[in-house]
Amino acid sequence: MDLFVQVDEYLGDALLEPDAALEGALERSAAAGLPPIAVSALQGKLLHLLVRISGAHHVLEVGTLGGYSTIWLARAASTVTTLELDPHHADVARENLAAAGLSNVTVVEGPALETLATLTETVDFAFIDADKANNPRYVEQVLRLSRPGTVIVVDNTVRQGRVADATLTDADVVGTRELFELLRSDPRVDATTIQTVGLKGHDGFTLCRVS
Ligand code: SAH
Ligand code: DHB
Ligand code: MG
């Protein structure tokens, strides 16, 4: 774990510029009492690059927190719609997005299962990073809003390997297994999952392309 942190620090120094808006967003989020569970800087850069590589214009995010991942996405997209349950998180995110000079983001408050159902605009790229138990339901809703070529990234699908531990049956793990079952069997989508190590320990993300 120390090694994972050291290497992430090395890679961050090697590849990323100091960024006052991103660092400010993390500082304001911590000061406001939000949990320190945003994507790492290197993961945020991956999201940013995936949006650019895929040529996505309209991005949907499920799970805003303080808007840290949102800033990475919004700098690559035309518009971002980001869904957040907790009004306090949404307030902090709006403040962080304004401080970052971003005016292309709409933060929608409420349970994402409900707010997703109200959306109608086609999504080019989706980042799903809220309550893990609902991941299969979130992907179903994103598929409804997708076109051929839409990219979906789902965060935290490995969780220290918990997904592969057959003795575990908590709602998050069950949701992840249901997600994999959906992705394996649904002809509308192709997917893979990559394990990751770094500042946030051992986890992974699932990358999908809608057909
Ligand atoms: N994407 C953020 C981190 C999100 S943390 C980043 O990397 O910077 C997960 C967020 O999902 C939390 O803010 C939590 O309040 C929110 N969340 C949890 N359940 C939710 C639900 N049912 N609907 C919408 N948001 C939810
Ligand atoms: C947690 C949530 C996340 O989205 C994440 O990337 C890491 C941890 C959590 O709820 O603990
Ligand atoms: Mg996450």
Query: 198-207, pLDDT tens digit by residue?
Result: 999 999 999 9
Q: What is the third-level CATH fold of 2-210? A: Rossmann fold (3.40.50)
3-state DSSP assignment of residue 82: strand
| pLDDT (0 to 100) of residue 98 | 98
- If we measure between CA atoms, which residue out of 44, 53, 50, 52 comes closest to residue 8? 44
- Binned at pLDDT 50, 70 and 90, residue 2 comes out as very high
- Where do the structural domains in the chain lie, given as residue ranges? 2-210
CA 139 to ligand 2 centroid distance, Å: 18
Whether residue 79 is predicted with pLDDT greater than 80 in this model: the reply is yes
- Convert the pLDDT of each residue in 50-59 to its tens digit: 999 999 999 9
Per-residue pLDDT at 35: 98
The atom number, within ligand 2, closest to the CA of 63 reads 4
Whether the CB of 61 sits within 6 Å of ligand 2: no
Q: What confidence score (pLDDT) does residue 1 get?
A: 74
Residue 49: per-residue pLDDT: 99
Supply the residue whose CA is at minimum distance from atom 6 of ligand 2: 37
pLDDT at 95 over 90: yes
Residue 85 has pLDDT above 80, yes or no: yes
pLDDT computed for residue 102 by the predictor: 98
Query: Is 125 a residue whose pLDDT tops 80?
Result: yes
Cβ 207 under 6 angstroms from ligand 2: no
Q: Which ligand is nearest to the CA of 66?
A: 1
Compute the mean pLDDT over every residue in the chain, rounded to the nearest whole number: 98
Count Cα atoms within 13 angstroms, Cβ side, for 3. Answer: 2
pLDDT tens digits for range 135-171: 999 999 999 999 999 999 999 999 999 999 999 999 9
Nearest-atom number in ligand 1 for the CA of 43 is: 7
Q: How far is CA 93 from CA 69, 98, 152, 167, 198, in A?
A: 10, 8, 22, 37, 24
Proportion of the chain above pLDDT 90, given as a percent: 100
Question: pLDDT tens digits for 18-39?
Answer: 999 999 999 999 999 999 999 9
CB of 129 shorter than 6 A to ligand 2: yes
Q: What is the pTM of this model?
A: 0.99
56-77 core/surface letters (b: 16 or more CB in 10 A; e: else): bebbbbbbbbbbbbbbbbbbbb
